[in-house]
């Protein structure tokens, strides 16, 4: 209810288009989809392979009244909603790699990129980009880490992108009602069920620094709780990469 939908054959990036739509018409709930992205991106300007007609490239815009704090944990919550959507489509075993990737059998199936539009102290919006590999069996150029698609998983669930997109938006809409009032806290309680590497030794890289420790899950604000030799450290998202150790 209340969403504007924009469907494109081709865009540079669905997040970039959503940002343009907001800067022209103001903050409002909208969904922007493309069959292909010519400049699809992940975090830190990394490329998101986006071949034509095979995958989901979607941006969902959720307006907020104000407050950076209220966006904490949002990308984790979005990941949980995406895993629920995939499960409902017949795919078991999708798990999250904190803070923003969906893994299936250890390989990257989907990515989430949350950006902010507008002024955090005034009217703003979360620009939630989601890429899901659905039919892709060969990307245009090589992907430098293990990846998979719903088709390659061989699980035989639905491959209907339209149904998955509609279901995802409906689920996100419902989850946002809770998130707006209570933030990430109620979702944090169920994070471990979604966590690909819960209780495992992991290595976190942030620029030149590396922290190793046991993955203990997340705080109510979505920070990663890492048990290191020096005790527990809490890391928030941003420019951080997680690897199995
Ligand atoms: P990391 O994956 O190292 O933790 P990240 O979460 O910041 O880093 P993203 O920015 O979300 O990664 O995604 C970009 C990376 O994802 C690319 O560098 C590439 O390795 C991989 N990638 C690119 N396109 C795809 C795709 N269609 N499916 C799966 N993985 C992809």
For the stretch 49-74, pLDDT in tens is 999 999 999 999 999 876 656 788 99
- Point out the catalytic residue in the list 43, 70, 95, 161: 43
Domain spans of the chain, in order of start: 4-192, 197-244
Identify whether 70 is a catalytic site residue. Answer: no
Res 41 pLDDT > 80: yes
Res 106 pLDDT > 80: yes
> Parallel, antiparallel, or unpaired: how do β-strands 107-118 and 30-37 relate?
unpaired
Q: Can you read off the two tokens belonging to residue 73? A: 């944990």
Please enumerate in sequence order all residues whose Cβ is within 8 A of that of 136, keeping only pairs 6 or more positions apart, or say none: 49, 51, 54, 55, 149, 151, 152
Q: Return the CATH number of 197-244, one of 3.40.220.10, 2.30.30.100, 3.40.50.970, 2.60.120.10.
A: 2.30.30.100
Ligand 1 contact via 41 beta carbon (within 6 Å): no
- Point out the catalytic residue in the list 70, 95, 108, 161: 108
The 3-state DSSP composition of the chain as helix, strand, coil percent (nearest 5) reads 30, 35, 35
Res 121 pLDDT > 80: no
Res 1 pLDDT > 70: no
Across all residues in the chain, what is the average pLDDT? 94
> Parallel, antiparallel, or unpaired: how do β-strands 56-64 and 107-118 relate?
unpaired
In the block, residue with structure tokens 């939630």: 128
Query: Residue 230, exposed/middle/buried by CB under 10 A (0-12, 13-18, 19+)?
Result: exposed
Please enumerate in sequence order all residues whose Cβ is within 8 A of that of 207, keeping only pairs 6 or more positions apart, or say none: 239
Res 241 pLDDT > 90: no
User: How do residues 200-225 score in pLDDT, each as one tens digit?
Assistant: 999 999 888 899 999 999 999 999 99
Q: What is the CATH number of domain 4-192?
A: 3.30.930.10
Structure confidence at residue 172 as a pLDDT band (50, 70, 90)? very high
* pTM tops 0.80: yes
């Amino acid at each position: 209810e209340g969403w504007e939908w924009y469907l494109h054959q081709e865009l540079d990036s669905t997040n970039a288009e959503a940002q343009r739509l907001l800067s022209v018409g103001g903050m409002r709930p909208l969904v922007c989809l493309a069959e292909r992205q010519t400049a699809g991106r992940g975090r830190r300007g990394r490329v998101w392979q986006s071949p034509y007609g095979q995958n989901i490239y979607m941006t969902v815009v959720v307006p907020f009244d104000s407050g950076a704090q209220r966006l904490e944990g949002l990308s984790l919550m979005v990941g949980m909603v995406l895993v629920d959507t995939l499960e409902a489509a017949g795919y078991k075993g999708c798990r999250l790699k904190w803070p923003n990737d969906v893994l299936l059998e250890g390989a990257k199936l989907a990515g989430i990129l949350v950006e902010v539009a507008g002024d955090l102290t005034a009217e703003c919006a979360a620009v939630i980009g989601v890429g899901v590999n659905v039919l892709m069996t060969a990307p245009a150029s090589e992907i430098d880490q293990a990846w998979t698609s719903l088709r390659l998983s061989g699980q035989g669930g639905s491959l209907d992108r339209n149904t998955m997109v509609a279901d995802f938006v409906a689920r996100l809409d419902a989850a946002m009602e809770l998130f707006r009032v209570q933030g990430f806290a109620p979702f944090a309680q169920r994070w471990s069920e979604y966590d690909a590497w819960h209780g495992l030794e992991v290595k976190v890289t942030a620029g030149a620094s590396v922290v190793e420790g046991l993955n203990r899950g997340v705080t109510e604000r979505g920070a990663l709780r890492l048990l290191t030799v020096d005790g527990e450290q809490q890391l928030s998202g941003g420019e951080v990469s997680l690897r199995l150790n």
